[in-house]
Each structure stands twice: as structure tokens, then as C-alpha cells.
Amino acid sequence: KCTRMTVSKSEFSNNHDGILLNHGSAYNMIIENILKNNEQGGIEIAYGNGHDNHISRNRINENGARGVYLNDAYHNHITNNMFYDNGKKATKNNMQAAEVLIDGKSSGNVVDYNIFKTDHTYNFKYTIYSSKEAGSNHLLNNRMEYSKP
């Protein structure tokens, strides 16, 4: 559990997860980082009650299963990030592929003003996926762009 931490202007690559906030982590700022080529996810707020974290102005690309994963997470803000090519290893690891995956009883999260780029080289993932257990979350002003491979 971590609280009121700022992670800024760093690169996280070739790890299991780029950044993992778990067990009630709250009020953290993850800004202007590069998260790429991590086995599971770029940023994960998981394992219960992570809340009021801000993920902003990051470049999140080519992570194995998902770019950002929220599981039982509340009132987090995912804003002004660039997502590209996350999820290509998900089926190999028997996981749901998505740029942003909202799972468990996550609610009150805001996903806005992000850019999601794709080259459509594979078709088994979602841009934003919300599980049936998730509560009310807010997806606003996001943009999807096609880029040639």
C-alpha cells in the first residue's frame, strides 16, 4: 500500500507490471512516464480499494495484457494518456486484452481525454472494457485513432 506518492518522468519496461498500486493505495500521482513492454500491464490499481489516484500524461504501450487495469478501484482519474498496442500477449496468458480494463466492483473512475491508437494488426482486444461486476464509471472525451502498421 502506498499513499501520496508521485512517480514522474520515469520509464518502466520489461517488468511483470510497470507500476502496481495495491491494497488500498490512494492519492498517488503517476504523471509523464513511459510504461512499455511489461509482461502483464503498464499500470495496475488492484487487489482492493485503490482510490483517488491520478494517472496523467503517460505513454503506455506494448504491454502484454492491458495498458491500465482497475480492479475493485474507486474514484481514480485516467486522463490525457497515450495508449498504443497493449494486449498482444493476453490470449497467451489467458487474460482479457484491453487498453483500459475496469474489473471487479470498480466504480466512480473517470477515463477522459486519452488517445488510443491502433493499427488493427490483431482483433481480439477491447479499447476500454468494463466487466459486468463493475459499477458506474465515466468514459468521456476519449479519441481512437488508426495508424498504419
- pLDDT band for 92, please (50, 70, 90 cuts): low
Q: Report in angstroms the alpha-carbon separations of 65 from 69, 129, 133, 134, 138.
A: 9, 12, 20, 19, 22
- pLDDT band for 27, please (50, 70, 90 cuts): very high
Listed in sequence order, the residues at least 6 apart from 121 whose beta carbon sits closer than 8 Å to its beta carbon are: 149
> Pick from 130, 10, 2: which is nearest to 78 by CA?
130
What pLDDT is stored for residue 6 in this prediction? Answer: 98
**Selected residue with higher pLDDT from 10 and 92:** 10
**Model pLDDT for residues 98-119, shown as the tens digit of each residue:** 999 999 999 999 999 999 997 7
Q: Is the pLDDT of residue 123 over 60?
A: no
Return phi, psi of residue 33, to 5°.
-110, 165
What pLDDT is stored for residue 124 in this prediction? Answer: 60
Q: Residue 117 is placed in which grid cell? A: 491508437
What pLDDT is stored for residue 73 in this prediction? Answer: 97
What pLDDT is stored for residue 122 in this prediction? Answer: 62
**Selected residue with higher pLDDT from 125 and 10:** 10
State the chain's mean pLDDT as an integer: 92
What pLDDT is stored for residue 146 in this prediction? Answer: 81
Stretch 17-33: mean pLDDT: 97
Which residues share a beta bridge with 89?
none
CB 129 within 8 A of CB 96: yes
- pLDDT band for 95, please (50, 70, 90 cuts): confident
Stretch 126-148: mean pLDDT: 91
3-class secondary structure, 130: strand
